[in-house]
């Protein structure tokens, strides 16, 4: 459990380190999630989602939990409306036998 929390912590922090400069430098938007403007908030969330999912699988692989975090990432994308079969053809078959630990 500590390993999984560590991976989520590293991934979340790393995502923010990557997204903030991307929005500020590349898109030339100044602001914060708390103070706005709305364009900064929306662009941050749109950029953050794919970067977070990618980093989650990468960091999880480094820590030896690739299958768990890949399953988690595919499930996250499916909640945004992307069919899980596009990313993992065996998602539903593996989901039945999936063990968290």
Give φ, ψ of 7 to 5 degrees: -65, -45
Instruction: Check: CB of residue 62 under 8 Å from CB of residue 52.
Output: no
Cα→Cα distances 23→11, 14, 28, 31, 66, Å:
18, 15, 7, 9, 29
Give the pLDDT of residue 100: 60
Res 99: pLDDT: 62
Between CA 35 and CA 18 the distance in angstroms is 20
Which comes out higher in pLDDT, residue 96 or 64? 64
Write the pLDDT tens digit of every residue in 28-50.
Answer: 888 888 887 898 889 888 899 88
**Using CA atoms, how far apart are residues 78 and 64, in angstroms rounded to an integer?**
24
Output the average pLDDT for the chain: 85
């Amino acid at each position: 459990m500590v390993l999984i929390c560590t991976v989520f912590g590293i991934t979340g922090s790393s995502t923010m380190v990557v997204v903030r400069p991307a929005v500020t430098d590349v898109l030339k938007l100044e602001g914060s999630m708390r103070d706005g403007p709305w364009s900064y908030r929306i662009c941050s969330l749109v950029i953050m989602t794919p970067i977070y999912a990618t980093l989650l699988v990468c960091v999880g692989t480094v820590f030896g939990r690739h299958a768990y975090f890949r399953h988690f990432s595919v499930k996250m994308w499916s909640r945004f409306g992307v069919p899980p079969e596009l990313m993992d053809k065996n998602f539903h078959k593996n989901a039945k036998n999936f063990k968290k630990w």
